[in-house]
Structure 1
Amino acid sequence: MKIHVGPVAVPELEEAVRAAGAELGSAEEASALVWFGAGPERFAEFAHSGIEWVQLPAAGIESWVESGALRGGIRFTSAAGTYAETVAEHTLALMLAGTRQLHTMARAGRWEQPEGIRSLFGATVGILGAGGIGRALIRLLAPFGVRVLAVNRSGKPVDGADRTWAADDAEGVRELLTGSDFVVVAAPATAATAKLVDAGALALMKPDAWLVNVARGSLVDTDALVDALAAGRLGGAALDVTDPEPLPAGHPLFSEPRALVSPHTANPKSLLIPALARRVEENTRRYLAGEPLLGEVDPAAGY
């Protein structure tokens, strides 16, 4: 079995394929693709009847779902879970920056103690989409003695969470929103999660609560968030992803004193490639052995 890395060849990913015991080959002769360097619009150039498996480089695959590139007869795997620890680390950094008002002090330009400095210890943290990132975040939050409320697709209890509800449990989601000091958005971007946090959801949150989005910008209604922050109806928002993205210069979120924006850096390329290489090596080994693959995509669910 030969595996092709492309459209952009990455030495670390090619080495991961070889380390797993597979042989590299051209796209035409390969039975599997490790996709990197382009979106689904180029997939038709590489797909052929002999392709059995495609490893995608990202955890979020909404562009592949929307394009219709997820063809029947081909197994697709995402990088779901691959970057969980890195993104969870960034999430914790955003939460700590918010509680300590570091963003306010960084902008102040003068020696002045801001109001609203809080502690993360003993807080209640709600996680919308408690998958790999959520579980990694729960582990990082353990020393702070927080209470964790979680929502996931199945409603199956999440380790470390005090309460878990299914995503379609409206009362459970409402309880999470009303009871959390921090609401962390970490769910996949699908048609069902578009604008998951809208004006109604924001209105349910505590007036001093923080919204933290490390998933995709489409899960939050940006206009509603801007309005809530400007009106003082929310303690703050820490966003690593936005809608639109990139956020255009002059956007209100950049000047909003209650907002902290990082430019989609929770998983920078310097950390992405090594983590992806580990996933490629493991899934290639599993592919050769005929074992279940990590992160296999469910086209119907959209992730």
Structure 2
Amino acid sequence: MSLNIVVAGLPKAVQGASNPTEGIWLTEKQREKIRSVADDVWLEHIPVSHLNAGQPPQRPPHAIMVETSGTVEAIESELGILTQKGYDQLVNPDLKLIQSMSAGAEHLVSIIPEGVVLANASGVAAKAIAETVIGAILADAKMFRERWENQTARAWTELPARELDGSVMTVLGTGNIGSQTARIATALGIHTIGINRRGNAVDGFDEVKSTGELFEALAVSDFLVIAAPLTPETRGLIDARAIAAMKPGGWIANVARGAIHDADALVAALEGGHLRGALIDCHAVEPLPAEDPLWTAPGARVLPHDSHASQLLGDRQVDLFVDNLERLCADRPFRNVVDLDRGY
């Protein structure tokens, strides 16, 4: 089978890119893995500046793997990003598969040509993100920041660290990230409650409730992990009322999309003492402005949307793409297909 393939754009937090500004990151081993999916493969790993300037690929691609801003102009300035203008250079009548390097797809669903499958990168970074969430929870419970500060001051001070066994975690979103987080949490003795639209059971959770039962779950929760896609239903879902519904001294992590939580309400809850802490990896405006009060809110831990950073990220992106290319060649259903109506 003859297959024309284009790779363009830098996956967020990928490591070891040879030219991150141009989105060139594939290793020779990764290139060979992509080329091996068929007898006749034409692979172009194109600098984003070429496509963004309106220069089309040498051959119309049948499949593309892209990190693109899509319809969100605010992220067009990100390092190694393919803009919508660049993306448009790849759309052609022979295109069958668009493999996004991002798990979130809300910025792409409106620009997918009819008859073309959009697949997202859900699962590629799940382990790395879950480790980041659990690492932050452990750091808080074991008071690591205070311990390191005491070491710097050469202060021999015992601290009232806490054990996690018997605590409760609600996870909004029971997909790959949520499930991975729940599995690690369970190993630490944390009771996990998953939240999804219908309350459908998912492996890895002690129990699962519907979105309509969210407040009931929050009332007994020490931790809330936001790991859901951004949709009209989840936008603003964790508002002041939801935060107030949590047990006093609660802790929140958002590793999904900033628009899911009310940033002002979160800061108010931290400053007022209702929340003990928060790990916020994603923000409604990125980069987070220097004057944003979250930077200095008590117990807040701010990440620059890189909780998924991992030395394995590039290989996992390629493995998923290769699997879908093999499915394309064999005319089998793709993995991680995005429902364009739901947005995930």
Give the structure-1-normalised TM-score.
0.90
How far does the alpha carbon of each residue in 1:85-112 deviate from its partner, in whole angstroms, 9 at most, with x for none?
Answer: 1111111111112222334555677448
1: CA distance between counterparts of 2:263 and 2:138?
23
Change (3 A) 1:5 1:160: closer
Are residues 1:211 and 2:252 paired?
Answer: yes
How far does the alpha carbon of each residue in 1:262-286 deviate from its partner, in whole angstroms, 9 at most, with x for none?
Answer: 2222112644212201111211111
| 1:223 corresponds to | 264
Are residues 1:147 and 2:149 paired?
Answer: no
Are residues 1:159 and 2:161 paired?
Answer: no
Change (3 A) 1:259 1:278: same
1: CA distance between counterparts of 2:247 and 2:156?
26
Shift of 1:32: 1.3
- Give the alignment of 1:94-243 within 5 angstroms: 94-105=136-147, 110=153, 111=155, 117-167=161-211, 170=212, 172-243=213-284
| 1:3 corresponds to | 5
Stretches of structure 1 lacking an aligned partner (at least 5 in a row): none
Is the 1:134–1:186 contact (alpha carbons within 8 Å) kept by the matching residues of 2? yes
Change (3 A) 1:190 1:16: farther
1: CA distance between counterparts of 2:263 and 2:223?
18
Find the partner of 2:32 among 2, 12, 15: 15
Shift of 1:158: 1.5
2: CA distance between counterparts of 1:252 and 1:84?
29
Is the 2:251–2:278 contact (alpha carbons within 8 Å) kept by the matching residues of 1? yes
Shift of 1:114: 9.0
Query: How many residues in Structure 1 have an aligned counterpart in Structure 2?
Result: 298
SS across alignment from 1:62: coil
Is the 2:126–2:308 contact (alpha carbons within 8 Å) kept by the matching residues of 1? no
2: CA distance between counterparts of 1:259 and 1:106?
17
Range that drifts further, 127-136 or 263-272: 263-272
Is the 1:105–1:112 contact (alpha carbons within 8 Å) kept by the matching residues of 2? no
1 or 2, which has the higher helix percentage? 1
Is the 2:65–2:321 contact (alpha carbons within 8 Å) kept by the matching residues of 1? yes
| 1:31 corresponds to | 62
Q: CA RMSD in A?
A: 2.2
Stretches of structure 2 lacking an aligned partner (at least 5 in a row): 10-22, 45-56, 68-80
| 1:251 corresponds to | 292
2: CA distance between counterparts of 1:94 and 1:41?
39
Code of the aligned partner of 1:215: A
SS across alignment from 1:274: helix
| 2:75 corresponds to | none
Shift of 1:233: 1.3
1: CA distance between counterparts of 2:217 and 2:83?
35
Find the partner of 1:268 among 288, 309, 330: 309
| 1:93 corresponds to | 135
Shift of 1:71: 2.4
Find the partner of 1:281 among 293, 318, 322: 322
Shift of 1:116: 6.7
Give the structure-2-normalised TM-score.
0.80
1: CA distance between counterparts of 2:241 and 2:148?
31
Code of the aligned partner of 2:288: L
1: CA distance between counterparts of 2:43 and 2:135?
42
1: CA distance between counterparts of 2:160 and 2:224?
18
Code of the aligned partner of 1:150: G
The percent identity for this pair of structures is: 32
2: CA distance between counterparts of 1:41 and 1:151?
37
SS across alignment from 2:238: coil
1: CA distance between counterparts of 2:217 and 2:93?
47
How far does the alpha carbon of each residue in 1:157-184 deviate from its partner, in whole angstroms, 9 at most, with x for none?
Answer: 11132221223xx2x1111111111000
Shift of 1:16: 3.3
